[in-house]
């Protein structure tokens, strides 16, 4: 027999056992598809965002000042090495159509940063034209409509809508930022020619550094360099602030000069006529007092305060980054475990295939064929199955999974689908697949080819029988039928086969359960935070001179009660770590506070309570000391008295006396936590508008919006998780089918024997199926434990710097995972039944000598 004939014999074997070949290809395909496909998702998402960012030239930093900017400020910031500065003008208005809050920007046709991307229509060419955010279409605006505004900040009040656009400053269609008018939430943005703005100062500065564009906006290298550049801009503006303060004072004094001159003239006139009437003298005294107050206010005019917003601070940007990071974390764990299960079954299948051909290998060796010539057909078989599975898996995975994710994340403006082939992941998948096929075949061939031809041509001696543990339980063993006893003996007699089946089934069930667990846990974080931790529905920020805030809140019939607290956004640090954007809440009514915020650690008379994630990031525990830096940049060291459970955001809780001691009498009520009856979104918006229309409230924020954001993020993962569930189900099915085929192939003589002894077809099927049912039951139980462990590990990897995902798997997840596994077992049983009916007893029982 030539080498060509050997290959023909191999392909004949493939045709005769199509199921085994297809099963190997399918297992490899599923493993590679999920592993490579998911590994491609995060790079594709990052590349899509980066392409949009570079095309629209997103600024690296935006600076806003309480006093605006002049050209001198612009020139100062330009002194930072590599800084490209673009001044901006903007204002908030209430549109005339629906009274929605809109942020209007000055459009500059030659803008080098934050360029608009046109979705329909064209960009403004004339002073009376305007382009709207694409979200404005949902508000009823169309091309050619007349857009009306009522504001003294603009020269023109009527514009013609000529286009709809997206902006790199607003990447999430669910979020447009906040304002201090209307409902407090920006509904959409718009751009109109800069000539329409009356402002004589710039409202903001956009700063871009060309050298930073060589790094991805999401990379650690970019973030590090962006922090360094921001620090340089801060230093420059800190030096500029005193000069800007002097300019503002000079401008204010210049405005008072006409009043001073007029008052001096009136005083001279009165002196000339002998002092005038008492009424005129009273008017002059009042005017003089008013002028003196104005002069005093000018002297107390503070230095400008600057707000710095990097790319991560733009609305929606961090949410996109967190979502992509979460997908990457899942991709680093779930597919790998999936692949391990697939590889294990593939390895077993290839091993059994070679072992079944012992007799043929012995014959070829006796005929004088070399070890290489005998091994080559099996290696070609494994190589063909591996390459076919790898090729299909890579093509399907890279071209389907990222597209499904992009479709699910349609709320973001990064719409370009950039498909990348992750070469490292492909190489890993290929190496593992080749090891599972070629490695398995080579391992067994080396073992078998060491034996002599005579030994190979003889069948392996059957494994010696022995008593199993169940037989020692005589009270139970006596009650079992003969068929049941045989099945249980076979189960425990062939332990390698038993453990392989249990591991395969447990792996599939565990992966199914993990898919449901990830979805349930992410959703549960919002439920726990906004139902079990925070027991209020809204947070309102009070105006500095608010005296009737509670009465204003009570005007709504759905208002129940509220609690005044002191709130500030602080940073908390240790010698080695620091966390910014931490909500500090101080109360003078600790008993009442418990009804608004559930603390798992009591609010102490001294010291502070940190939220769980904050303590973990800082690596601190009760008894340690941390440094608080408030919004006025004042620092204080406080002792940690407790850590409280929290699922979203960072919080510091303390009493009034602790705050006053730390910051020298800082406490004053500036925020109210509000409880209301259930409200619709429309009712919440109307209530917020009414509150902001008063002079008592500066800002209103509903917790329902935060919960909606978390729910939306969980919903975005649904398509990925359903892919997990579908592919895990397919893997479970293929594993069951493959292991059952191996079981039958190894025991075909045994099955033929019992058929000869008079067993009916159904009884022969029961003989095998009973074993599968027991293995499936044990596999499901083991899969439950495995699924919980795998879910917990993935959630730990997927958690962001502000969110904790509690391990939660609801009962439908357990039920569906078990039912799917049982359903696949039943399908395999049916297929097995028809295969067992076709066993040729004469061929199977033929002596092998």
Task: List pLDDT tens digits, range 729-749.
Answer: 887 887 788 778 777 777 777
Judgement on whether residues 632 and 756 belong to the same structural domain of the protein: no
| Whole-number percent of the chain with pLDDT over 70 | 95
Q: What is the mean pLDDT of residues 678-685?
A: 85
> Is 350 within the bounds of a domain?
no
Q: Considering 706, 730, 764, which residue would you say is the last residue of a domain?
A: 706
**pLDDT, position 3:** 62
> Is 25 within the bounds of a domain?
no
If pLDDT is split at 50, 70 and 90, which confidence band does 14 have? low
Strands (E) across 398-544 are located at 538-542
CA distances to 121, 226, 587, 630, 634 from 662, rounded to whole Å, are 57, 32, 14, 11, 10
Specify the range with the lowest mean pLDDT, choosing from 48-57, 243-252, 485-494, 808-817. 485-494
**pLDDT, position 608:** 92
Judgement on whether residues 501 and 584 belong to the same structural domain of the protein: no
Judgement on whether residues 265 and 227 belong to the same structural domain of the protein: no
Q: Which residue has the higher pLDDT, 13 or 146?
A: 146
If pLDDT is split at 50, 70 and 90, which confidence band does 652 have? very high
Token pair 């409902």: residue = 183
Tokens of 266: 């009136």
d(CA 522, CA 805): 6
Judgement on whether residues 285 and 154 belong to the same structural domain of the protein: no
If pLDDT is split at 50, 70 and 90, which confidence band does 11 have? low
List the domain range (segments joined by +) for residue 258: 252-310
**Span 174-233, pLDDT tens digits:** 788 877 676 667 889 999 999 899 888 999 999 999 999 999 999 989 999 999 999 999
Judgement on whether residues 190 and 291 belong to the same structural domain of the protein: no
Tokens of 352: 């059994």
Q: Which residue has the higher pLDDT, 333 or 595?
A: 595
Q: Considering 706, 737, 763, which residue would you say is the last residue of a domain?
A: 706
d(CA 385, CA 364): 24
**pLDDT, position 20:** 76
d(CA 75, CA 67): 17
Q: Reply yes or no on whether the pLDDT at 17 is more than 90.
A: no
User: What is the secondary structure of 604-647 as a DSSP string?
Assistant: -SSSEEEEHHHHHHHT--TT-EEEEE-TT--EEEEEEEEEE--S
Please give the backbone phi and psi of residue 791, each rounded to the nearest 5 degrees, phi first: -65, -45
Q: Is the dihedral of CA 19, 21, 27, 33 positive or negative?
A: negative
Q: Which residue has the higher pLDDT, 504 or 637?
A: 637
Residues with Cβ < 8 Å from 515, sequence gap 6 or more? 721, 722, 724, 725, 728
Q: Is the dihedral of CA 126, 127, 128, 132 positive or negative?
A: positive
**pLDDT, position 405:** 85
d(CA 57, CA 59): 6
Find out whether 562 and 550 touch, Cβ atoms under 8 Å: yes
Judgement on whether residues 527 and 538 belong to the same structural domain of the protein: no
> Is 520 within the bounds of a domain?
yes
Q: What is the mean pLDDT of residues 491-506?
A: 79
If pLDDT is split at 50, 70 and 90, which confidence band does 86 have? very high
If pLDDT is split at 50, 70 and 90, which confidence band does 831 have? confident
d(CA 609, CA 655): 10
Q: Reply yes or no on whether the pLDDT at 844 is more than 80.
A: no
Question: Taking the model in full, what pTM does it have?
Answer: 0.79
User: Nearest 10 degrees: CA dihedral of 52, 55, 60, 62?
Assistant: -90
| Whole-number percent of the chain with pLDDT over 90 | 28
**Span 303-321, pLDDT tens digits:** 888 888 899 888 888 888 8
d(CA 554, CA 549): 9
Judgement on whether residues 509 and 553 belong to the same structural domain of the protein: no
d(CA 767, CA 839): 14
Judgement on whether residues 731 and 829 belong to the same structural domain of the protein: yes
Q: Reply yes or no on whether the pLDDT at 713 is more than 80.
A: no
Provide the number of structural domains found in the chain. Answer: 4
Q: Reply yes or no on whether the pLDDT at 283 is more than 90.
A: no
- Measured from the Cβ of residue 387, the count of other Cβ atoms closer than 10 Å reads 16
| Entry field: residues in the chain | 849
d(CA 814, CA 822): 12
Q: Which residues pair with 803 in a beta bridge?
A: 648
Long-range contacts for 95-99 (Cβ within 8 Å, ≥24 apart)? 95/139, 95/147, 95/148, 95/149, 96/148, 96/149, 96/150, 97/139, 97/140, 97/141, 97/148, 98/139, 98/140, 99/182, 99/689
Q: Reply yes or no on whether the pLDDT at 355 is more than 70.
A: yes
Q: How far apart are the first and last CA of the chain?
A: 21
**pLDDT, position 843:** 67
C-alpha of 256 from chain center: 55
R_g over Cα of the chain: 37
If pLDDT is split at 50, 70 and 90, which confidence band does 584 have? very high
Judgement on whether residues 592 and 702 belong to the same structural domain of the protein: yes
User: DSSP letter at 367?
Assistant: T
User: What is the secondary structure of 172-184 as a DSSP string?
Assistant: BTT---B-SSTTS
**pLDDT, position 123:** 93
Which of the given ranges, 46-50, 274-278, 486-490, has the highest pLDDT on average? 46-50
Find out whether 732 and 509 touch, Cβ atoms under 8 Å: yes
**pLDDT, position 7:** 66
Q: Considering 706, 741, 764, which residue would you say is the last residue of a domain?
A: 706
**pLDDT, position 132:** 94
> Is 247 within the bounds of a domain?
no
> Is 360 within the bounds of a domain?
no
Judgement on whether residues 225 and 264 belong to the same structural domain of the protein: no
If pLDDT is split at 50, 70 and 90, which confidence band does 370 have? confident
Average pLDDT of the chain to the nearest whole number? 84
**pLDDT, position 849:** 46
> Is 458 within the bounds of a domain?
no
**pLDDT, position 121:** 92
User: Nearest 10 degrees: CA dihedral of 422, 427, 429, 434?
Assistant: 160
**pLDDT, position 579:** 85
Collapsing DSSP states into helix, strand and coil, what is residue 97?
coil
Q: Which residue has the higher pLDDT, 73 or 799?
A: 73
Find out whether 629 and 662 touch, Cβ atoms under 8 Å: no
d(CA 708, CA 526): 8
> Is 389 within the bounds of a domain?
no
Q: Reply yes or no on whether the pLDDT at 636 is more than 50.
A: yes
**pLDDT, position 77:** 92
d(CA 667, CA 658): 9
> Is 297 within the bounds of a domain?
yes
User: DSSP letter at 141?
Assistant: -
Tokens of 23: 């099963």
d(CA 334, CA 30): 13
Judgement on whether residues 70 and 143 belong to the same structural domain of the protein: yes
Angle at 156 between CA 152 and CA 160, to 5 degrees: 135
Nearest to 740 by CA among 707, 769, 764: 769
d(CA 45, CA 497): 43
Q: Which residues pair with 88 in a beta bridge?
A: 204
**Span 514-568, pLDDT tens digits:** 888 988 888 888 888 888 899 999 998 887 777 777 888 888 888 899 999 998 8
Q: Which residues pair with 117 in a beta bridge?
A: 166
If pLDDT is split at 50, 70 and 90, which confidence band does 114 have? very high
d(CA 370, CA 353): 20
Indicate the pairing of strand 608-611 with strand 635-644: parallel
Mutual angle of helices 220-272 and 71-78, in 10-degree steps: 150
Judgement on whether residues 721 and 827 belong to the same structural domain of the protein: yes
């Amino acid at each position: 027999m030539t080498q060509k004939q050997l290959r023909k014999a191999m392909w004949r074997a493939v045709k005769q056992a199509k199921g085994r070949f297809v099963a190997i290809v399918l297992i490899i395909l599923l493993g590679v598809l999920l592993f490579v496909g998911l590994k491609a998702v995060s790079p594709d998402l990052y590349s899509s965002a980066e392409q949009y960012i570079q095309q629209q030239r997103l600024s690296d930093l935006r600076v806003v000042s309480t006093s605006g900017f002049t050209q001198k400020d612009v020139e100062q910031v330009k002194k930072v090495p590599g800084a490209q500065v673009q001044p901006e003008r903007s204002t908030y208005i209430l549109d005339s159509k629906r009274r929605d809050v809109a942020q209007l920007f000055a459009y500059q046709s030659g803008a080098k940063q934050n360029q608009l991307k046109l979705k329909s229509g064209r960009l403004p060419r004339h002073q009376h034209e305007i382009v709207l955010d694409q979200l404005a279409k949902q508000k009823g605006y169309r091309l050619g409509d007349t857009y009306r505004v009522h504001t003294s900040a603009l020269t023109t009040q009527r514009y013609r809508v000529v286009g709809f656009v997206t902006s790199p400053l607003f990447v999430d269609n669910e979020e447009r930022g906040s304002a201090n008018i209307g409902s407090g939430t920006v509904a959409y943005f718009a751009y109109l020619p800069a000539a329409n703005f009356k402002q004589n100062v710039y409202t903001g500065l956009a700063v871009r550094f060309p050298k930073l564009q060589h790094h991805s906006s999401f990379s650690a290298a970019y973030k590090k360099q962006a922090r360094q550049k921001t620090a340089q801009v801060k230093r420059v503006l800190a030096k500029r602030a005193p000069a800007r303060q002097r300019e503002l004072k000079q401008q204010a004094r210049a405005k008072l000069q006409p009043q001073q001159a007029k008052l001096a003239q009136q005083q001279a006139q009165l002196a000339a006529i002998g002092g005038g009437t008492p009424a005129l003298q009273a008017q002059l005294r009042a005017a003089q007092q008013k002028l003196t107050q104005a002069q005093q206010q000018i002297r107390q005019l503070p230095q400008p305060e600057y707000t710095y917003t990097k790319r991560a601070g733009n609305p929606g940007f961090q949410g996109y980054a967190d979502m992509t990071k979460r997908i990457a974390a899942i991709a680093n764990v779930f597919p790998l475990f999936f692949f391990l299960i697939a590889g294990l079954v593939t390895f077993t299948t290839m091993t059994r295939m070679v072992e079944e051909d012992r007799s043929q290998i012995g014959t070829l060796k006796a005929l004088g064929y070399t070890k290489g010539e005998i091994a080559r057909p099996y290696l070609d078989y494994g190589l063909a199955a591996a390459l076919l599975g790898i090729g299909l898996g890579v093509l399907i995975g890279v071209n389907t999974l990222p597209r499904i994710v992009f479709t699910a994340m349609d709320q973001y403006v990064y719409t370009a689908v950039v498909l990348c082939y992750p070469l490292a992941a492909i190489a890993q998948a290929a190496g593992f697949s080749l090891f599972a096929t070629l490695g398995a075949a080579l391992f067994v061939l080396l073992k078998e080819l060491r034996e002599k031809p005579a030994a190979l041509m003889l069948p392996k001696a059957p494994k010696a029988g022995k008593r199993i543990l169940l037989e020692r339980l005589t009270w139970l063993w006596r009650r079992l039928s003969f068929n049941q006893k045989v099945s249980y003996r076979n189960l425990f007699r062939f332990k390698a086969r038993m453990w392989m089946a249990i591991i395969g089934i447990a792996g599939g069930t565990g992966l199914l359960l993990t898919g449901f667990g990830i979805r349930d846990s992410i959703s549960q974080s919002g439920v726990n935070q906004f139902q079990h931790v925070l027991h209020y529905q809204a947070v309102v920020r009070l105006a500095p001179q608010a005296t009737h805030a509670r009465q204003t809140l009570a005007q709504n019939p759905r208002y129940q009660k509220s609690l005044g607290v002191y709130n500030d956004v602080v940073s908390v640090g240790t010698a080695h770590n620091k966390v910014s954007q931490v909500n500090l809440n101080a109360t003078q009514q600790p008993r009442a506070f418990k009804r608004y915020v559930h603390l798992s650690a009591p609010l102490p008379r001294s010291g502070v309570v940190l939220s769980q994630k904050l303590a973990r990031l800082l690596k601190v525990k009760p008894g340690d000391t941390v440094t608080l830096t408030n919004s006025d940049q004042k620092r204080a060291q406080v002792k940690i008295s407790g850590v409280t459970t929290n699922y979203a955001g960072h919080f510091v809780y303390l009493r009034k006396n602790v705050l006053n001691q730390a910051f020298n009498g800082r406490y004053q009520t500036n925020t109210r936590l509000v409880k209301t009856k259930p409200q619709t979104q429309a009712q919440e918006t109307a209530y917020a508008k009414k509150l902001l229309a008063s002079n008592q409230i500066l800002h209103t924020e509903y917790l329902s919006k935060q919960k909606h954001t978390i729910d939306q993020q969980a919903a975005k993962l649904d398509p990925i998780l359903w892919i997990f569930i579908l592919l895990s189900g397919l893997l479970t099915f293929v594993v069951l089918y493959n292991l059952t085929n191996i079981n039958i192939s190894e025991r075909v003589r045994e099955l033929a024997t019992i058929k000869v002894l008079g067993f009916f077809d159904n009884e022969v099927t029961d003989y095998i199926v009973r074993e599968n049912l027991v293995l499936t039951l044990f596999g499901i139980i083991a899969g439950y434990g495995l699924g919980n462990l795998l879910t917990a590990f993935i959630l730990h990897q997927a958690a962001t710097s502000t969110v904790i995902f509690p391990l939660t798997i609801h009962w439908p997840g357990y039920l569906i995972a078990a039912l799917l596994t049982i359903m696949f077992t039943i399908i395999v049983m049916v297929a097995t039944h028809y295969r067992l009916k076709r066993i040729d007893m004469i061929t199977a029982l033929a002596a092998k000598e």
